[in-house]
Amino acid sequence: MSDHHLLPAPLATEPALPILHGQVRQASAGSFRRLFIAHPALIVVRSGVKQIAVEGAEPIRAGVGEAVALSGGTAVDVTNLTPPDDIYRAEVFTFTEHAGIDPVVPNARSFGRITTAAGVGDCLERCRAAADPTTDLPAALRGHWARELLLWIAAAGVALGDLGRTSVAVAIRRALIADPARDWHTEAVLDHLARRGLAMSAATLRRRLADEGTSLTDLVTDTRMSVALDRLQTTAAPITAIALDVGYDSPSRFAARFKARFDLPPSAIRQRSDARERIGTTIERDGAAAAMVE
């Protein structure tokens, strides 16, 4: 469930679950530019403030008791602000392809703020159970509860789209999220795509990714950093272990790459700093977050 962000929350889990649930914790305020949200998600703020900006749209701001819905395949600028005496905390509900088709919403937006009124709160409680693989629930009921949350999101004027449809870049990102440390050379990626009915040549892969504004090298690097951010926010694993998990044998090289991508060191995610003064209250540059949309 990694705003990630986010995040996009941890995504590698029981494949049949229609919805996943994760918790995000961040000690220092910060912003992240162009954080890729691989799966549609709802981020519920429990402490602090989240700001989301999508190119071409007005930024939105969600405080405690509010949520942000984001469609998958979206690059967003995310800022998480910590309260004076606490950390930033949020819940992330991530929809998988098993949730089905999002409700049709006339003139829908691809992201938006939602107030978690009483009815929504009850729905979130059911979705926590639906996302727990250890609960003894029929698959149909899990799917029903996930779609109930989609209906609440639709009622707020936000549509997350066809949850089963994906681009080549998103398909690759999802594979990378599941195994970020793997040597994802071109042949490995082509084999993965072919086994999912997306067979193509190396030249076609390069062209398709170029049409989507990216490359395999950029996808691997950016996804590894996004997974690292998610694990820093959602687990207590040591930073050195996270570096290894995303394919970096050298912690110092990992830290340098992370800082270059997000404009703050990995340790700042878990330790309070003066980032609030450095970043301010508008999204201007890199620095923290993905909830997931996290």
Per-domain residue ranges of the chain = 19-279
Contact 1, 7 (CB under 8 A): yes
Share of the chain above pLDDT 70, in %: 82
Q: What is the pLDDT of residue 107?
A: 67
Q: What are phi and psi of 46, to 5 degrees?
A: -110, -25
CATH of domain 19-279: 1.10.10.60
Q: Is the pLDDT of residue 157 over 90?
A: no
Q: Is the pLDDT of residue 289 over 50?
A: no
Q: What is the pLDDT of residue 109?
A: 79
pLDDT digits (tens, 9 = 90+) for 59-105: 899 999 999 999 887 788 999 999 998 999 999 999 988 887 666 66
Q: What is the pLDDT of residue 125?
A: 95
